[in-house]
Amino acid sequence: MEIVFATQNRGKFKEAKEKLERIGIKLLHYDKGYPEIQADNLVDVAIYGARYLSRKIDKPFFLEDAGLFIRSLNGFPGVYSAYVFKKIGCRGILRLMEAEEDRYAEFRSVIVYKEKGKKAKVFIGTCQGMISHEERGTKGFGFDPIFIPSGSDKTFGEMDVREKNRYSHRGKSIEMLAKYLRKKL
Ligand code: IMP
């Protein structure tokens, strides 16, 4: 079975490929982008993108929208994570959290999977953890060097793809997609 992952983020593609190829799914890469609306939740952003892409991609495809939600910042950067990462990066987040004792944060990942003529399926994965006090590790992407998932003392930036997938929001949402696809194989 071949499915397409629409993303311009190579890190996300690597993580999805590592999981889906293990169950015999060939993952193709669509990297031309799609509109990301400004909405206050990840599901609306992803559904809108999937509607747009269903006119561009003929094969079964999925896309994923993710964000980092920090409790002491009232859920910021949340749906604005991509923009905030571009503007202030990990360093900017650490600065905002300087005097903060409550380091709790969670990553959320929403996958929308679509086959021609069928209703879209939504899969949601979350990963709880802490914002570290300094950047650690050079692997991964985005906020990986400042996020320590619960149950580990490493940041995502210190993990290889396989290890990150065992903990991560995306590892979980892709696992749900994989379970759904396995039934069809
Ligand atoms: P989007 O899903 O591409 O809109 O992702 C939003 C932003 O959240 C990305 O640009 C990253 O900065 C951040 N992000 C999403 N998932 C991850 C992750 O697994 N690790 C680190 N940062 C992430």
pTM for this one?
0.96
Report the DSSP beta bridge partners of residue 4. 28, 61
Q: Which pLDDT does position 183 carry in this prediction?
A: 87
143 lines ligand 1 (CB under 6 A): yes
Q: Which pLDDT does position 142 carry in this prediction?
A: 98
Per-residue pLDDT tens digits for 45-99: 999 999 999 999 999 999 999 999 999 999 999 999 999 999 999 999 999 999 9
Q: Dihedral sign, CA of 171, 29, 43, 54?
A: negative
Report the alpha-carbon distance of residue 95 to residue 88 in Å, rounded: 10
Cis peptide before 35 (omega within 30 of 0): no
Structural domain total, the chain:
1
pLDDT exceeds 90 at position 15: yes
Per-residue pLDDT tens digits for 18-55: 999 988 999 999 999 999 998 999 999 999 999 999 99
What CATH number is given to the structural domain containing 148?
A: 3.90.950.10
Q: Domain range holding 135? A: 2-184
Q: How far is the CA of 82 from the centre of ligand 1 (A)?
A: 6
